Amino acid sequence: MARTIEQLRKEVLTANIEIFRRGLAQFTFGNVSGFDRERGVVVIKPSGVPYAKLTAKMLVACDLNGKVARGALRPSSDLPTHLVLYRAFAGVNAIVHTHSPHATAWAQAGREIPCFGTTHADHFHGSVPVTDAMTAREISGDYEANTGHVIVRRFKGIDPLQVPAVLVRSHASFVWGSTVGKAVEYADVLETVARLAMETLAINPKAAPIAQPLLNRHFLRKHGPGAYYGQPGMK
């Protein structure tokens, strides 16, 4: 049985509260959305509402063109970015945008997060990329949609399901997953590996990235064909 819009609202509400609880979002920063591809419905946090005040009925439901179907509040100003990514990345059904401190520091520095170890490799099949700087025309135009287009361009040649995160230069991170829960998990892991990468370089500024065979083994044993990590049927 397909889930209802109200069920999706509850999932997205839980995820928004969770990123706040985990310290990935402060005040009104950030947002989580979920996409029901069967119904063509996106549910997202409303703009500027503190996490502590959020309720399921406040969440905004719209179609892939941004036309609001349910909800009295304005959707997140980042909605156009989410919509671009949903249209471009098949298999992505949830997006998390946060300004978590360590990941945001890498974005502000304009540097990708190198994969130094297996903690990173268990979740991201390589470095977490950083976008090009947005042009003045992109910024003065349809800024939020253009943010999505900059991300999509950066992923030319990269499988977004194998590297489910990006750093938008001078901004912050966008992370995604096949489910709302997975997207939140990846957002949390991204902040961890961003911090670990900083600490690795502080200890050894010449640290080398993980060897490719070890990177492949750790990622593929969890996510590849014939993956054997974990228990069958457990999410």
Catalytic site residues?
Answer: 122, 229
| Separation of alpha carbons 17 and 134, rounded Å | 30
